[in-house]
Amino acid sequence: MNQSSALTYLEEHQDRFQAELIELLRIPSISHDPAYKEDMDKAAGWLADKLRSMGMDNVEILPTSGHSVVYGEWLNGDTSAPTVLIYGHYDVQSAEPLEDWKSQPFEPEIRNDNLYARGASDMKGQTLAAVNAVEAIVKSETLPINIKFLIEGEEEIGSKHLNEFLIANREKLACDFSLNTDAGGMPDADTPSICYSLRGGAGFLLEIFGPSQDIHSGGYGGVIQNPINVLSKLIGDMHDEHGHVTLPGFYDKVRKLDEEERAELARLPFDEESLLKHSGAPALWGEPEYIPAERIGARPTMDVVKFEAGQLKSAIPAKATAWLSFRLVLDQDPAEVHGQLRQYLTTHAPPTVKWNLDFLGGNPAVITNRKSSEVLAMKDALQTVFGKPPIFQRVGGGIGAVLMFKQTLGIDSVLTGFSLDDNIHGPNEKLHLPTWKKGMVALIQFFHNLVDK
């Protein structure tokens, strides 16, 4: 089968695809803030219109208990051809701190081949890459496979209602596997990647209560302990001097890497220089007995994502609050980590304060089969288009959908993506447009490989 007509179509419609992406990026679809509910609906509506206009069938905006899911399908492929569930999400993180953006986060701007906007890379761009690849084939030839689109609106808030949606729509979503372009992380524009491992996570809210209200630090300093000081100490002592998490039993269930995998990971381009350049940090950090690629992909972590306490006045505050985010690996269980954290606090929190710990949710890590026919189809497609084989990597983040698809729908995900160091979740998020286009070519190749094999 020949995909030259789809590639011609892609070429001819590239300007429109780019204009459409900019349209979608203008919608501030921030899922965590109720103030943007209308924009969330607008983004879902935009995507449904897009799917309809390119000829998808049964396009629907399906409600969940939270933000809606956009669904569409094209089931005219050969009955022997696989059915692919293409995953995407239309929600984005908030854009704070706004003052650090060079251009406005929801007023996309192109500078040096890069399109700057919140969601450009994570993942409105990645979502439309898959959507456009399907459009190019459908509009120019015969799509050789069957497609179902599931584009959710809650990825950035933990895909809170996705699993109940999957349970309620199991039949509608029946398929062979999922394609997920949300697991990007190409080390550079010439090197494609496939992800086979995602870390899990567990989130907690930790509150330390001291005096019943803010009290004068002159009048009480020295006799009443400061909740900020206490929370700082508790957090500070959660790591030892070598970057290990000190919670009792935290590493007991961590699956060890075998030598073959360690050797493979050692070949990945996650070298110190590149990590320093991309992060801007003065030096790397972490467990010295593991290389950076292992620390990111195969070792658990604890980061405080927010610490909030006190005011600019001479007072010992009544309360100090921190939000803790653990990244977990196989075979850690978020509920057990919750227990370990609770145990740590019971042992270490002083009697001079009270504390409260809320478990905000968690999910285990997931690993997919690197030798399945669909992963090999992706590997070949990437090699064809980029001229060299993809690296196989463990990604440090998690994608709730991948786990839920596995647990609820019983399917694996082919995990790739065409993001570079795009500063997702941070200011000046960007998408490298030439790589985005190359990604669409690779996806067209991938869809063909699925039946050519």
Residues 135, 129: Cα–Cα separation, whole Å? 10
Shorter beta-carbon distance to a copy of itself: residue 77 or 390: 390
Give the residue from 50, 5, 2 showing the smallest Cα distance to 23.
50
Site for a copy of itself in 173-192 (CB under 8 A): 185
Stated as kind and residue range, the H or E segment containing 127 is helix 126-140
Q: Which of residues 100-139 bind a copy of itself (CB under 8 A)?
A: 100
- Residue of 16, 37, 267, 306 that binds a copy of itself (CB under 8 A): 306
Stretch that binds a copy of itself, among 40-48, 165-173, 270-278, 365-373 (CB under 8 A): 270-278
**Interaction between residue 288 and a copy of itself (CB under 8 A):** no
DSSP type of residue 254: P
Judged by CB under 8 A, the residue of 323, 336, 373, 385 near a copy of itself is 323
Q: Give the CA dihedral 292, 296, 301, 304, nearest 10 degrees.
A: 100
**Which amino acid makes up residue 281?**
A
CB nearer to a copy of itself: give 294 or 374.
Answer: 294
Among 231, 375, 378, 381, binds a copy of itself (CB under 8 A): 231
Give 152's strand partners.
89
Alpha-carbon Rg for the chain in angstroms: 23
Least distance between a copy of itself and beta carbon 292 (Å): 5
Report the amino acid identity of residue 325: S
Contact between 301 and a copy of itself per CB under 8 A: yes
Per rule CB under 8 A, count of chain residues that contact a copy of itself:
93
247 binds a copy of itself (CB under 8 A): no
Q: Does 315 bind a copy of itself (CB under 8 A)?
A: yes
The answer to whether residue 295 forms part of the interface with a copy of itself (CB under 8 A) is yes
Which of 61, 81, 275, 385 touches a copy of itself by CB under 8 A? 275
The least distance separating a copy of itself from the CB of residue 408, rounded to whole angstroms, comes to 22
What's the rounded Cα separation, in Å, for the pair 436 and 421?
13
Token representation of residue 419: 């993001």
Least distance from a copy of itself to the Cβ atom of residue 355, Å: 10
Who contacts 92 (Cβ-Cβ below 8 Å, separation ≥6)?
28, 29, 30, 31, 118, 119, 122, 124, 156
Place of tokens 């998808």: 56
DSSP per-residue codes, 140-209: HS---SEEEEEEES-GGGT-TTHHHHHHHTTTTT--SEEEETT----SBTTB-EEEEEE-EEEEEEEEEE
Smaller CB separation from a copy of itself, 176 or 421: 421
**Closest CB to a copy of itself among residues 12, 96:** 96
Closer residue to a copy of itself (CB): 407 or 423:
423
Which of positions 387-446 make contact with a copy of itself (CB under 8 A)?
Answer: 395-398, 423-428
Q: Work out whether 240 is an interface residue with a copy of itself (CB under 8 A).
A: no
